[in-house]
Amino acid sequence: MNTTTTTTTLDLGRQSLVSRRAPLDWLFAALVIGGAVYAFRRYGVAMDGYEKGILAGAVPALIALGWFWGPLRLLAAGVGAASLLAINLYARTTDSFGADLAAGSQVFLLKYLLSSQSAFLWMGTLFWMSTLFYWIGFFSRGPAVAGAPAGDAAGLRIGSRLAWAAVFMALTGTMVRWYESHQMGPMIGHIPVSNLYEVFVLFCWLTTLFYLYYEAHYKTRALGPFVMLIISAAVGFLAWYIFAREAHEIQPLLPALQSWWMKLHVPANFIGYGTFALAAMVALACLLKTSTPRHLWQGLVGVPGGVLVLMGAYALLGAPDDQMQTALFKGARMIGGTAAFFAVMISLRNPINARTPSLELMDDLMYKAIAVGFAFFTIATVLGAFWAAEAWGGYWSWDPKETWALIVWLNYAAWLHMRLMKGLRGNASAWWSLGGLVITTFAFLGVNMFLSGLHSYGAL
């Protein structure tokens, strides 16, 4: 009798999910719904049924995310306001098709801040500044003391805020680029996730957002210096890609990319890539703490060296000479830079280890990042199969990109299996995660550099 009474009392006193919402939560929900209604009314004529369905589904998803993690509400509202401002500035000058982008880009705010290219340049600058301040703050911060709360140096806080600012500029640039593409002519407009330039921007802000969530969840900024290094490397690639290929120019989509599957497959895929990269950088922090310098050198030089040997073997097997020589040169340069970076990390091993979080925290973060990434990568693979069936008439063709995507999937499936079934922890877990970054990078970039096939986000 007492048990029943107690249970009933507890059930009656428990607040529902809806009743726990604060007024700001409901204001955010109203803004999202209002924005969706505005988009339907203004752009609905240009949308097909699938795009309308995606927009309708994005509304509850964005509201749920904003309720789950408060900072996303301010980010979403800010990006929406900045994007609408840019669109209205562009719309002041028109040509025979739509907004006159050339004339519009002479407006001060568009030219120096809100056009997609300006926003992406700000994104890159802010990411580099964030990385710099994270490292300044990291070494300004006193050594971590077991059992005591970790204090954050000013540099770490500035680095975190700069990372948020960079994400804001990346998302604003993405939304504005989407609008710009629709103003260039029929059949040109598309969501900007269709080529190597655009997906690198996607990788940067998605990876950073996941890191910022984990930063808040674990209440430590001490891993920011490591994670932001991979973001800065991606920004460096983008800078080179713009200079070498003029990749920032908006181009019409290839026929195979003119599919609504792209709008789902690519973001899901890059959630996987981003969280796998995040886990690998956390794994590096773990290995610096648990491995001897000798073992670090053996692993961190041996793995890239093995990749270079495989590349050379591939060249000997009859790859096109010019293409392979160029690719080998690029690969050797990348490996040399990676080795130099790890040499610095190993030389600073002791002061770094004194400031990184506990191994238990880093191990848990690495596991959660890989688990999230694996779930989304699995979804992306299934969606990719449907897309392939629509574009090429078959769900799977053993194209090099598909094959390496399967290798990535099997690698992390095995990692999770060993973690959950065999209790994989420590050095083996971290080395495996760091090696997974090599496999994932090859699947993402190496296939474009060394192999030819149906899939390509852009020439290298």
Q: pLDDT of 309-353, one tens digit each?
A: 555 544 444 444 555 555 556 666 666 667 777 788 888 888 999
pLDDT digits (tens, 9 = 90+) for 22-63: 888 999 999 999 999 998 888 888 777 777 888 899 999 999
The rounded Cα 400 to chain-centroid distance in angstroms is 22
Q: Which residues, in sequence order, are CB contacts of 169 under 8 Å at separation 6+?
A: 119, 120, 122, 123, 126
Say what the pTM is. 0.88
pLDDT band at 73 (very low <50, low <70, confident <90, very high): very high
The predicted structure's pLDDT at residue 82: 96
The predicted structure's pLDDT at residue 305: 56
Q: For residues 224 and 156, is the Cβ–Cβ distance under 8 A? A: yes
The closest alpha carbon to 194, from 115, 116, 123, 262, belongs to 262
The predicted structure's pLDDT at residue 448: 73
> Which of 182-186, 351-355, 373-377 is predicted most confidently?
373-377
Q: For residues 202 and 267, is the Cβ–Cβ distance under 8 A? A: yes
What is the signed CA dihedral for 284, 445, 371, 257, rounded to 10 degrees? Answer: 160
**What does the block give as tokens for 223?**
């891993």
